[in-house]
Amino acid sequence: MIEVDNLTKLYGSLVALRQVSFRVDQGEIVGFLGPNGAGKTTALRILTCFMPPTSGTARVAGLDCQQHSLEVRGKIGYLPENVPLYPDMTTRRFLAFAAAAKGVSRSCSGQEIERVMEVCTITSVAERLIGHLSKGYRQRIGIAQALLNDPAILILDEPTIGLDPTQIVEIRSLIKKLGAERTIILSSHILPEVSQICQRVLIINNGQIVATDTPANLTAQLQRNLQVYLEVEGPRTEVMQKVEAMTGVLEVKPTNGESSYLIETSRGQDLRPELARTVVESGWQLRELKLQDLSLEDIFMQLVTDEEAGEEQE
């Protein structure tokens, strides 16, 4: 559905993208991650035909984004980071304007507007001025305009930025529902959000793709040792001494809780049975014992830090 091959973008002497290549298949929800200035927005602007690359190619549904930009735009719904809304327009009037700009015929425009308002649950504010609406409603209007003309692909740049927790949950739920029928690229720096919504992640840093896979596969590749979370009711000093003395334990770290610990063990050793036995034989109360995988935030920080360290050595 989306194919990017050796994409490079220069702003004078600044290299925003350096030979970036990736693909997104039909029906995938893919997270596009990277620190500020990594090249995420530049890549999305090229895919949505807002700017040309310096070299390389980007194709959407087999169409080159430079040579067939109008056709490509017709297949993509785009939500930029800062949604360009008109605060003095009503919701319905703005969507009518956006529909006309997208080439939706007048005979179909009304029905299409009603459809996207229903999908985004903004029918109740159809006649209200956008400038009087909450950030959550304005974000929904931005998604609604992206859905006009029923595009097969959605590109969403920071869709939950500036929202309160309730609004974030609502927008996440909406994106999941939309992903059942469309291909979605979701750019975000909120890593828990990506892990909850996306099937696969692309991580970009300094204009280059540094990893692409499912969060589970990245965890398996990068997690050098096993981590076990232990919560036990017992004297902290004695608990740590006994656990540290066990064969295979590399490190024991107290966590924020009064009775919880993060235990690092050799990758090939699952010490949970031995840990449970030690706790019971010591007369302590075992509250929780579980393996703990790397979070997407851990993966992101490890990849970005490793690459930056490599560049410094070079």
DSSP the chain: -EEEEEEEEEETTEEEEEEEEEEE-TT-EEEEE--TTSSHHHHHHHHTTSS--SEEEEEETTEETTTTHHHHHHHEEEE-SS----TTSBHHHHHHHHHHHTT--HHHHHHHHHHHHHHTT-GGGTTSBGGGS-HHHHHHHHHHHHHTT--SEEEEESTTTT--HHHHHHHHHHHHHHHTTSEEEEE-S-HHHHHHH-SEEEEEETTEEEEEE-HHHHHHHH--SEEEEEEEES-HHHHHHHHHTSTTEEEEEE-SSTTEEEEEE-TT---HHHHHHHHHHTTPEEEEEEE-PPPHHHHHHHHHHHHHHHHHH-
Task: Give the C-alpha separation, 191 to 148, whole Å.
Answer: 28
- DSSP track, 61-78: TTEETTTTHHHHHHHEEE
Structure tokens at 218: 């990245």
Q: In this predicted structure, what is the pLDDT of residue 112?
A: 94
Task: Give the C-alpha separation, 222 to 296, whole Å.
Answer: 11
Q: In this predicted structure, what is the pLDDT of residue 305?
A: 63
Residue by residue, pLDDT tens for the chain (314 residues) are: 899 999 999 999 999 999 999 999 988 999 988 877 888 889 999 999 999 999 999 999 899 999 999 999 989 999 988 888 999 999 999 999 999 998 898 888 999 999 999 988 899 999 999 999 998 899 889 999 999 998 999 999 888 877 788 878 888 888 888 888 889 999 877 777 787 888 898 888 889 898 888 877 776 666 667 788 899 999 988 999 999 999 888 889 888 777 899 888 877 678 889 999 999 999 999 999 988 766 666 666 666 665 454 444 44
Q: In this predicted structure, what is the pLDDT of residue 33?
A: 84
> What structural domains and CATH numbers belong to the chain?
2-213 (3.40.50.300), 224-291 (3.30.70.100)
The tokens 């992640």 sit on which residue? 201
Look at the pTM and tell me if it is higher than 0.75.
no
Q: In this predicted structure, what is the pLDDT of residue 257?
A: 73
Nearest 5°: the CA angle 230, 254, 241 is 80
Instruction: Answer for the pair 179, 29: CB distance below 8 angstroms, yes or no.
Output: yes
Q: In this predicted structure, what is the pLDDT of residue 312?
A: 43
Beta strand 29-33 with 183-187: parallel, antiparallel or unpaired?
Answer: parallel
